[in-house]
A and B are shown apart, each in its own frame.
Chain A
């Protein structure tokens, strides 16, 4: 069947089997391999993408569910060669090691600070608790999200002035 949707700002129309998981559609059909598969059971969050701005686990969505919707993957974070604040935060705070959970973590973090620009540490920890990281112990991921929130806040102040 044919499914039409927007991904990272570009419209796509693809022919897929109805049972195709969104993560497989993105990785295999579209060749965008930044979205990862870690568990198949919606527990680990390595496959997280944003669907109309909200984080979803793409291993648990079927391709037809994308019809008419907007998807953002890690490949869509940097704009015009400039890293998103969340990417800057992960680099500056050593929020990644093996990098496998990183795309999902960054997307969850980005959605979190867009909904709540000044989250507490507990709010961040709760917000990312659907995503597993085996390497970092989360402390630097929390700092990375705080770093991005602070950068966004500074930019907003600058924008107002």
Chain B
């Protein structure tokens, strides 16, 4: 059902803070006063502090660990090693991709920064001092730092502890139809190819990862305050990994200082702090510093992609081939649905009607940090979107077409939805030409193309980049999508109290997205209770229903749907109570924005507040008391947000410096619940996309030393570099979502890198420069220009 758009409904929504209202955020107050409560703010009586000793080598055999000097430091309580953990069968843990990962290294270290020992002391300063005194005897081994090296014959085997593992190959995965694709290529009149690398980057939320583990040796209760985007799933995994009884585990994910995918996996620090608290009998706090975060926790991308599009005589795309080689680091710990080894990369046909596609993906172990996470993206959709949008740019160049024309010629047409893609996705809804048109008009595209031609004639470099992305977000359905076996549904529990005010408890978990406001607005819309009267609770496994958490833009598509449906359940129960109060037949009861009346008597109303009071005070015989419900929502399909992003750049020939002059972003995320919050999400994503395109890089030298291990090397955009954004919208509701919303948290990070890069290539392609890998730094552009003989 789409949202009621009459004027009266709009007025009611404004008063209620319903859907479409840019309500100021309910959660702001505590943050404005410095009263946000993050994991590092948790202080418990008797709490100890843990610091991790990490490997300086990328690949080395451990010959011995001497912790005696560390133990001699006053205030040190324990030094935990892999050997100690092995006695409790905790030296290794399962990963989210069906592999194993060392909690603390016992045999070898396999990446620089790997966890080797943990020092636990009375203060963090003492723990840091003592960690420096833990002496580890290493025998360095040859490091493997690229997946190409890793799969070459004779490469050192990184995972030699795994039975039957004789090389560094992890997985081979295919999607689509090879035969049909081969046939398409056989009849193509033109084939355009692109080889590109989406380098390793890192979500680096401003708050690093950490926990406070508090295990009570008497009661066996385990309370773990944890930077978790998925507290319920983490509780189950803790029960399985650590063998703790699940009903005794309480995970509390308090305020999170950003997540962006980095807080989806389980890291060794959580496990050791929990084990240490159990063994010592005191609470243990572990908080990463920035270097810990950048060198050891969930990285993103590191995908080498090459492929081709087959084009017929009319300029239509008829086939797509993509080969992918992924660098997964030392342990295959990607956070993704278990059936999919390269996430949802097979969305790579993007916004285009390509009847045949074949995708081949291979993964390799390297001596680099593990944990491929989706940095503000739904399971590798970013890599797919980047590849197809870059390939379409190449196709436009080779066809001698405006890149807008190439896209318009090949878009899936609005009447084709629901559309089944060659790789098997069923796109729910879309109108790609409409979003393109809004973007072109906002930018003044034709004028800028004229300006570009004039500048080019004078030898100046200006480019206009186009990207028309389509995402797939909001997993499940549960039958096809699971995390470690847990189906990807989500949940909402709503209780309206006698005074007509309520509490909504969710299985998802905000990391700054404003759930306390947005989800209250859904209830306001559905029940007619003002959003200010709905308190939203998340992140405490004891006090919220089981859900899979917040990542892959799934809160609104799944948790939001659960919220609307549970509110409708309460609305229906309210009809039974209203019928009793009116002494009427329930079939004659009407409901409109918080008011019940008998058909034909619109002026005699009972408000939802009246009904809530009656639910506890004046019920019909046989009806359960209370106005409360819970919904576990398993979506019938995912949602497919889309949009067109346009970027204008000017490039200095002398220095290679790229300046982003304009950035127009037109998003279609279906129905917008709180437009202010939606636009804030888009601003943030466009900025992270800008960082990825031009600044952010984790790389390694030949010995596997991580370069990009602090904010002096891993460059994050500040206000000074970040472009000004111009936002536009179209609204194409999702037909299967109860309120037509699609999710928006990640669209801008998914869509924008290709737009930025295409703008640079658009400025340079007439010189024969067809690709520059991200991050596009001045020196790369300068070198590319010089290689084509361009000088000042």
Contact = CB atoms under 8 A, between A and B. Distances in A.
Interface of A: 17, 19-20, 24, 27, 31-41, 43-44, 46, 73-75, 77-78, 83, 87, 90-92, 94, 96-103, 106, 124-126, 128-142
A74 B712 contact: no
B677 A94 contact: yes
Contacts of A131: 718-719
B419 interface: no
A24 B126 CA distance: 13
A41 B292 CA distance: 13
A32 B34 CA distance: 8
Contact of B725 (A40, A92, A137): A137
A138 to B, nearest CB: 4
Q: Which 7 A-B pairs have the closest CB atoms?
A: A34-B34, A98-B512, A100-B257, A99-B31, A137-B683, A74-B34, A43-B711
Contacts of A24: 124-125
A94 B711 contact: no
A81 to B, nearest CB: 11
Interface of B: 24-25, 27-38, 40-41, 43, 124-125, 204-208, 255-258, 260, 289-291, 511-514, 676-677, 679-680, 683-688, 710-712, 716, 718-720, 722, 724-725
19 contacts: A33-B34, A41-B710, A77-B33, A78-B33, A87-B33, A96-B28, A97-B513, A98-B257, A98-B258, A99-B31, A99-B36, A100-B258, A125-B720, A125-B722, A131-B718, A131-B719, A136-B680, A136-B684, A137-B683
Nearest to A128: B719
A125 B717 CA distance: 12
B206 A137 contact: no
A113 to B, nearest CB: 15
A27 B41 CA distance: 8
B33 A40 contact: no
Contact of B206 (A31, A101, A124, A129): A101
The A interface, classified by DSSP as helix, strand, loop or mixed, is loop
B684 A100 contact: no
A99 B680 contact: no
Nearest to A46: B206
Q: Which of B204, B685, B720 has the most CB of A within 10 A?
A: B720
Given A91-B25, A100-B258, A43 B712 contact: yes
Nearest to B677: A94
A90 B684 contact: no
B719 A94 contact: no
A140 B680 CA distance: 8
B684 to A, nearest CB: 5
A61 to B, nearest CB: 16
B206 A97 contact: no
B28 A91 contact: yes
Contacts of A77: 32-34
B719 A37 contact: no
A26 to B, nearest CB: 10
Given A41-B290, A87-B33, 11 more contacts: A33-B41, A38-B206, A38-B207, A74-B34, A91-B24, A98-B256, A103-B34, A125-B720, A133-B719, A135-B684, A140-B680
A38 B290 contact: yes
Contacts of A34: 33-36
Contact of A90 (B28, B40, B208, B683): B28
Contacts of A40: 289-291, 710
Contacts of A20: 125
Nearest to B207: A100
Given A97-B680, A137-B687, A75 B34 contact: yes
Contact of A41 (B41, B125, B256, B712): B712
Contact of B511 (A17, A96, A98, A102): A98
Contacts of B686: 137
Contact of B719 (A39, A106, A142): A142
Nearest to A87: B32
Given A38-B207, A137-B683, A96 B720 contact: no
A47 to B, nearest CB: 11
Given A39-B290, A40-B290, A129 B719 contact: yes
Contacts of A94: 24-25, 676-677, 679-680
A126 B25 contact: no
B683 to A, nearest CB: 3
Contacts of B30: 99
A102 B711 contact: no
A106 B28 CA distance: 13
A66 to B, nearest CB: 18
B29 to A, nearest CB: 8
A138 B36 contact: no
Contacts of B722: 125, 137-138
